[in-house]
Amino acid sequence: MMKFEVFPLNEGYYTIGFDKVFHAFDIEKDILEERSRGSLLVEIQPFLVRTANDNILFDTGLGFFNDNRQLVIEENLAKHNISPNDITKVVMSHLHKDHAGGLSYVDEYDERHETFPNATYYIGEDEYNYALEQGEPSYELGDLELLVRSARVEWLAAKGELLDFISYEQDGGHCPHHTSFLLSGDDGHYFFGGDNVPQLKQLKVRYMAKYDFDGRRSAELREEYGQKGRQGNWTFMFYHDVSIPLSKLA
């Protein structure tokens, strides 16, 4: 059996308006109503999974810099005594820019670099092709072009296994080729459902969201994963929930 530990990497709160641009939001000081019309509050949180051999990242965050011109993800990884160079695997649920923005960054000379130069990337091939076709504003092509040049991409099929302890399935819903992951180890099961299961509260109420590509499918998936999670005592990993990063369903 595999032994691993899961750590949330909290990037904080942002608002996103109709223009799909993310702006940092200080929940102590800022006022949502003062943001552009239709702005939504969004929390961002990739996960670090550590095994004896690997530091694995599940989605990569926004790729923003902090006030010291350090990448937020670098600041967060430093709290676990590792750097972006120590990330050996990057696993992607999908490639919307709030999940894939951290794949690369642009330096002060306007040159783009991979954030995790030693990592192998695990990305759905269908999602990649769809992202290239769609482009802005939901996808950031600069991040994606760099991946292909890196030649360290392992393309994910519709369904399969990775690294002996992770099973995955392309489940659609939030976007046509979204993928969810189940990690199985000594301490039970962890489920990373990306944007089909973004927050704990959304597992408790049935709803359909306008921001999902197929809202009905997404709602059905939440129901299904909720049921399986209850039966299998899964710990859910919530990418858009910084106050409850990890939770089982009672």
Binding site for Zn ion (CB under 5 A): 98, 195
> Least Å distance between CB 98 and Zn ion?
5
If the CB atoms of residues 87 and 175 are measured against Zn ion, the closer one turns out to be 175
Residue length of the chain: 250
> Least Å distance between CB 51 and Zn ion?
25
Please, are residues 11 and 73 in contact by the beta-carbon 8 Å criterion?
Answer: yes
> Least Å distance between CB 70 and Zn ion?
23
SS3 199: coil
SS3 241: coil
Whole-number Å distance between alpha carbons of 81 and 127: 32
If the CB atoms of residues 89 and 96 are measured against Zn ion, the closer one turns out to be 96
> Least Å distance between CB 194 and Zn ion?
7
> Least Å distance between CB 11 and Zn ion?
12
If the CB atoms of residues 51 and 91 are measured against Zn ion, the closer one turns out to be 91
Alpha carbons within 13 angstroms on the beta-carbon side of residue 125 total 8
If the CB atoms of residues 42 and 246 are measured against Zn ion, the closer one turns out to be 42
If the CB atoms of residues 126 and 195 are measured against Zn ion, the closer one turns out to be 195
Alpha carbons within 13 angstroms on the beta-carbon side of residue 206 total 7
Whole-number Å distance between alpha carbons of 131 and 144: 8
Instruction: Please name the amino acid found at residue 125.
Output: E
